[in-house]
Amino acid sequence: MEAFADSNGIKIFYKTIGNGDPLVLIMGFGADGTAWEKHLDMYAKHFRCLVIDNRGVGRSDQPAGPYSTQSMATDVIAVMDHAQVAKAKVVGISMGGAIAQELALNYPNRVSGMVLVSTWPYFNKYTTAVYNNLKNLRKTSRPEDFMALLQLWIFAPPYYQTQQDQLQAGQQMAKDHPNPQSQEGFNGQLDACSSHNTVSRLGAINIPTLITVGALDIFTPPGYSETLHKAIPNSQLDIYPDAGHVHHWESLDRFNQSTTEFLLNH
């Protein structure tokens, strides 16, 4: 099923796939819900998946920013309300993991467990500078060229040794995307990333939480995930030794299996 939810006047597109207990899937910046395809092959066998296009991308509205992870968490609640889902487990990747943190903190009765993938509790000055430079570079780059640059940040070197065809396919997809992200949407999402800060509140999260990160992640380095792990009570940390920011694709089978087991068992 495909539908739109209204979040304070912002249209948020989502679709539902599969059957079972509800599972909300929140993607990272610049990517829409179609990026969950390889994970849905596993998740939809066990869960009723709510796959969201965040504000600023895909078929959702792309208003001028700034956005915040708090307002984007409110978007998720609007989707859950529209889909008549009172409580769900959540998987959030990168920016989606930051949104998931705010969801768990601000709406604790709506989240029963979560997986935080390649995410952070705050940005230091270095990471903030990286993201701000991405804003500038995107303005002057063709979509396929910007994707080629982004791939250097998010994939680890071992992936490049064997997956050139996949990387080139990703660049072509960026060029031919039927619902390209606007510069306003891109800037708004990066503002949400840069302003996110949950450090002082993480101890209030009291749901089962699995944190996953690639040891070779230079985009959101493992130190951020270690901070999350230390601050969130009883959380689990799973490190992927030969993978980067998108270890969920680089180590697809392991990621799908381990996260599905966690979600089913918690």
pLDDT band at 160 (very low <50, low <70, confident <90, very high): confident
Sort 106 into a burial class: Cβ within 10 Å, 0-12 / 13-18 / 19+. middle
CB 29 within 8 A of CB 189: yes
Question: What is the per-residue pLDDT for 139?
Answer: 87
pLDDT tens digits, 16-35 = 999 999 999 999 999 999 99
Question: What is the per-residue pLDDT for 179?
Answer: 83
pLDDT tens digits, 165-194 = 999 999 998 999 888 899 999 999 999 999
Query: Which domains, ranges and CATH numbers included, belong to the chain?
Result: 2-265 (3.40.50.1820)
pLDDT tens digits, 214-250 = 999 999 999 999 999 999 999 999 999 999 999 999 9
Residue 82 in this model has a pLDDT that exceeds 90:
yes
